């Protein structure tokens, strides 16, 4: 007979451990099976398809293996829990073969039909995560050296309007890095064979939705709870963090995929990363901008002049110099908070923009061109070679329409007023 108290306790431990990951379909399946088991209900496969995955009564379980695939994934999650946080448990919660419910069994009786979780190329997130951490720490160390070797310069920068607005109040400062979601493609034994970056899939929820639309891929794609950052994020941190050092107790580092409307409307935010990694911040910024991004995010379109600025960094050019485009914006949020965007089409552009707004001479040029406006944007033409930032120049500055950013008004024909290159109206 099922021990309801034990089942409930195991379920709570598994939820709290985080082993279910970010996939809302896995969590929904888990909760559904727990509820069924606690009420002694044994649902059929079609019931699971309807109640968990939103299928209709015409869904053909003999032709679509989505339910069985997710049951397989959930079994692996349970194994991961009992191989880790729950390894000392004398009893385990398992899904019997051919059933859609949980039972509690002694640990030694638990089925061992699947390989342990480590067989699933568990080195992938570890190696990538360690590599990223080492590089970021090294870059921050260089920033620390710069902080101690040029205190007067940093003091001057902190007093400029761009940075003083963040440093002279007591709000939390979120340093937000533009990240990218990647998932695994598996072989028939569920071992990860390669990592996949798909532009239309930017979160576990997107992956779940994609698999619901393409169930034939459900057995091949696997959420690895893995994101990656572009190289430019580390260099940007190196330049920005020394400036923010006086506010170190108020600083939080976060990923763009973790941003919430509450943060954007109440905290100070400094975004560092590609235009394509901005997440929800992208639509806010470009709602009040004279620019929009192209479909590939390698292009900025100026709706005032009709000019298209297309990055050449994606095309290998050997030792030939090419153009990339940096983008900067600073504007006020609805609660008086400040948002700064240090971005660009590719790494070279992001690196140059970060340098330009953290060096006295180039920052003075920027603010002078913007006529000390509190909310404005800027475009840089950046020269690169072999993935290196060789330099760049400020092309233009223009006021941002902050009312349109926060009210969601549609872009009209006039767009944002912008003057000649290098000036703001």
Which of 110-114, 164-168, 413-417 has the lowest average pLDDT? 413-417
Domain-located, residue 414: no
DSSP 305-351: T--EEE--TTS--TT--EEEEEEEEEEE-TTS-EEEEEEESSHHHHH
Q: What is the model's pLDDT at position 178?
A: 93
Whether the predicted pLDDT of 165 surpasses 60: yes
Does residue 205 sit in the same domain as residue 239? no
Average pLDDT of 348-374? 93
Question: What three-state secondary structure class fits 94?
Answer: strand
Domain final position from 79, 96, 119: 119
Which of 35-44, 133-142, 346-355 has the lowest average pLDDT? 133-142
pTM of the model: 0.67
Q: What is the model's pLDDT at position 420?
A: 39
Average pLDDT of 149-178? 89
Domain-located, residue 212: yes
Whether the predicted pLDDT of 31 surpasses 60: yes
Are 329 and 285 in contact by the 8 Å Cβ rule? The answer is yes
Does residue 135 sit in the same domain as residue 32? no
Does residue 374 sit in the same domain as residue 356? yes
Q: Are strands 291-293 and 268-272 parallel, antiparallel or unpaired?
A: unpaired
Q: What angle do CA 267, 271, 275 make, to 5 degrees?
A: 135
CA distance 112 to 394: 62
Q: What is the model's pLDDT at position 380?
A: 97
Which of 136-145, 326-335, 411-420 has the lowest average pLDDT? 411-420
Domain-located, residue 259: yes
pLDDT band at 109 (very low <50, low <70, confident <90, very high): low
Does residue 130 sit in the same domain as residue 113? no
Q: What is the model's pLDDT at position 131?
A: 45
**Residue 385 burial (CB < 10 Å; 0-12/13-18/19+)?**
middle
Does residue 146 sit in the same domain as residue 82? no
Q: How far is CA 404 from CA 269, 278, 328, 393, 424, in A?
A: 19, 18, 18, 28, 18
Whether the predicted pLDDT of 5 surpasses 90: no
Q: Of 148 and 340, which is predicted with more confidence?
A: 340
Contacts of residue 83, Cβ cutoff 8 Å, sequence gap at least 6: 116, 117, 118
Whether the predicted pLDDT of 91 surpasses 50: yes
* Residue 380: other Cβ atoms inside 10 A: 24
Q: Is the dihedral of CA 370, 254, 273, 358 positive or negative?
A: positive
Domain-located, residue 83: yes
Does residue 132 sit in the same domain as residue 201? no
Rg (CA), the chain: 25
Does residue 173 sit in the same domain as residue 297? yes
Whether the predicted pLDDT of 149 surpasses 70: no
Are 110 and 103 in contact by the 8 Å Cβ rule? The answer is no
Beta bridge partners of 384: 322, 389
Are 314 and 378 in contact by the 8 Å Cβ rule? The answer is no
Whether the predicted pLDDT of 50 surpasses 60: yes
Place of tokens 């400020």: 394
Whether the predicted pLDDT of 146 surpasses 70: no
Q: Which domain holds residue 191?
A: 182-221
Domain-located, residue 390: yes
Residue 266 has which token pair? 């109440």
> What is the count of structural domains for the chain?
3
pLDDT band at 425 (very low <50, low <70, confident <90, very high): very low
pLDDT band at 126 (very low <50, low <70, confident <90, very high): very low
Q: Is the dihedral of CA 338, 344, 345, 347 positive or negative?
A: negative
Does residue 112 sit in the same domain as residue 135? no
Does residue 190 sit in the same domain as residue 325? no
Q: Of 340 and 115, which is predicted with more confidence?
A: 340
pLDDT band at 421 (very low <50, low <70, confident <90, very high): very low
Per-residue model confidence as pLDDT tens digits over 208-225: 888 888 888 887 888 887
Per-residue model confidence as pLDDT tens digits over 172-185: 999 999 998 899 89
């Amino acid at each position: 007979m099922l021990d309801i108290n034990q089942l409930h306790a195991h379920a709570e431990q598994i939820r709290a451990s985080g082993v279910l990951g970010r996939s809302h379909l896995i969590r929904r399946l888990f909760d559904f099976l727990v509820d069924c088991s606690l009420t002694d209900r044994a649902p059929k496969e079609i019931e699971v398809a309807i109640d968990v995955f939103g299928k209709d009564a015409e869904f053909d379980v003999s032709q679509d293996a989505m339910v069985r695939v997710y049951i397989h994934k959930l079994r692996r999650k349970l194994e991961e829990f009992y191989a880790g946080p729950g390894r000392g448990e004398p009893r385990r919660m398992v899904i019997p073969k051919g059933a859609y419910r949980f039972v509690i069994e002694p640990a030694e009786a638990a089925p061992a039909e699947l390989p342990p979780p480590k067989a699933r190329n568990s080195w992938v997130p570890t190696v990538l995560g360690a590599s990223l951490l080492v590089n970021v720490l090294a870059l921050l160390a260089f920033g620390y050296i710069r902080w101690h070797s040029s205190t007067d310069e940093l003091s001057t920068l902190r007093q400029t309007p761009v940075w003083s607005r963040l440093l002279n109040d007591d709000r939390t400062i979120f340093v937000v890095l533009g990240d990218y979601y990647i998932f695994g493609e598996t072989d028939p034994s569920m071992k990860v064979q390669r990592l996949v970056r798909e532009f239309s899939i930017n979160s576990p929820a997107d992956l779940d939705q994609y698999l619901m639309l393409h169930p034939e891929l459900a057995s091949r794609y696997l959420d690895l709870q893995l994101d990656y950052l572009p190289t430019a994020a580390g260099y940007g941190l190196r330049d920005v963090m020394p400036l923010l050092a006086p506010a170190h107790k108020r600083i939080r580092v976060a990923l763009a995929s973790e941003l919430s409307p509450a943060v954007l409307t109440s905290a100070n935010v400094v975004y560092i990363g590609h235009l394509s990694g901005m997440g929800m911040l992208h639509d806010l910024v470009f709602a009040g901008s004279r620019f929009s991004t192209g479909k590939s995010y390698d292009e900025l379109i100026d709706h005032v002049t009709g000019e298209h600025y297309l990055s050449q960094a994606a095309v290998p050019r050997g030792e030939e110099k090419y153009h990339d485009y940096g983008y900067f914006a600073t504007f006020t949020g609805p609660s008086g908070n400040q948002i700064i965007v240090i971005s660009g089409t590719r790494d070279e552009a992001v690196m140059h923009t970060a340098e330009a707004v953290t060096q006295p001479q180039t920052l003075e040029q920027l603010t002078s061109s913007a006529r000390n406006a509190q909310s404005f944007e800027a475009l840089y033409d950046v020269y690169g070679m072999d993935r290196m930032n060789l330099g760049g120049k400020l092309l233009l500055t223009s006021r941002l329409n902050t009312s349109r950013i926060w009210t969601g008004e549609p872009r009209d024909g006039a767009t944002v007023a912008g003057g000649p290159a290098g000036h703001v109206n």
